[in-house]
Amino acid sequence: MALPPLDLPATHPDRPIVEPSPARVTEPDGLAQLRLLGSGSSGNALYLALGEVRLLIDAGLSTRAIVKALAEMGLALSSLTAVLLTHEHVDHIQAVPGLIKRCPRLPICASLGTINACRELYGWNLPFIELEPLVSTCFGMVQVTPFEVSHDAAQPVGFRLVCRELSFALATDLGTVTPTVVEMLSACRVLAVEANHNRRMLREGPYPDRLKRRITSGKGHLSNQQTAELLRAVAGPHVEQLILVHLSEVNNSPGQALTDLAPALKLLPRSRVAVAAPRVPGPLLQFSIAAGKVHERGAAPLEASQLNLFQEVPPKAGPA
């Protein structure tokens, strides 16, 4: 799908990465907040706040949907520190022109390959900020490290974010689990990982063979079985929250994903597990930035029906 070119001046003023006040995140009781605004082929966006650093990872919903979801949390678009993009597929970037039109100084950060692809495919002449894989960039107290993943895009990445003792990693849109992915997800307390499809549902489902081959290729998407293998490699009692993202609406379901992953989830004895529902924002999740504190579910101003669609599995009893 072609996106409209941006009507912005070619020479846009340089926009340094915002350095928010670190005062709040230096407090031992600082909270991290996470909310999936959308997940799946209909559009992906994840809000993550670590103290006063507020990040949007991917902007694959409509601009209106993103602005609305932020407003539900009492946030204006201008309060975002930056937007991080995983890759140039439309379900991850479609709101970028609309966000920039509403908030021209909002930093949009991506790998060089993604930046070039956005320019070539969509004609976007934006002052992107390049993030180099395996090189950490600090946004206030938050260290952001992109890492390359195998997917049919120019230079797709996942992200590992560290703020004091809280570490978070997102790995979505990848066809195979590489040692780099395992390394970057290891020791993270909060994980958002793709569980795209059940192999049998995809094989027997309505997709054309060409699309099935693309999805199952090494540059496609993770099956539930592959996600289980990844979890086995990074599992442990240090994981507090796992969020399964980018589920196919045709070739998977939250219940099927949980069934396929059940043996691997036993290796996460202290973790809550949430499965993202497509098309509706999830609840606001809260975590302590300091280590060793029990995280808590935030009281988000959401409709009860939305909470039900974001399926959660309570943590299993385990060592404190």
The smaller minimum CB distance to Zn ion, of residues 54 and 89, is found at 89
Q: Does 89 bind Zn ion (CB under 5 A)?
A: yes
Of 10-18, 81-89, 133-141, 179-187: span binding Zn ion (CB under 5 A): 81-89
> Residue 47 CB, nearest distance to Zn ion (Å)?
17
Query: Under rule CB under 5 A, which residues in 283-302 are in contact with Zn ion?
Result: none
Q: How many CB atoms lie within 10 A of CB 122?
A: 21
> Residue 14 CB, nearest distance to Zn ion (Å)?
30
Q: Which residue of this chain has its Cβ atom nearest to Zn ion in the complex?
A: 89
> Residue 257 CB, nearest distance to Zn ion (Å)?
16
In our burial notation (b when 16+ CB lie closer than 10 A, e otherwise), range 146-181 reads bbbbbbbbbbbbbbbbbbbebbbbbbbbbbebbebb
> Residue 248 CB, nearest distance to Zn ion (Å)?
10
Output the CA–CA distances (angstroms, integers) from residue 308 to 61, 199, 311, in the order listed.
21, 26, 6
Q: Does 194 bind Zn ion (CB under 5 A)?
A: no
Q: Evaluate the CA torsion angle 18, 90, 87, 66 in order and state its sign.
A: positive
> Residue 238 CB, nearest distance to Zn ion (Å)?
28
Instruction: Name the residue among 31, 27, 25 with its Cα closest to residue 298.
Output: 31
Q: Which of 52, 58, 148, 173 binds Zn ion (CB under 5 A)?
A: 173
Helix (H, G, I), strand (E, B) or coil at 256: helix
Helix (H, G, I), strand (E, B) or coil at 296: strand
Query: Under rule CB under 5 A, which residues in 200-239 are in contact with Zn ion?
Result: none
Q: How many CB atoms lie within 10 A of CB 61?
A: 25
Q: Does 91 bind Zn ion (CB under 5 A)?
A: yes
Q: Does 240 bind Zn ion (CB under 5 A)?
A: no
Q: Does 54 bind Zn ion (CB under 5 A)?
A: no
DSSP code for 78: G
Residues making contact with Zn ion (CB under 5 A):
89, 91, 173
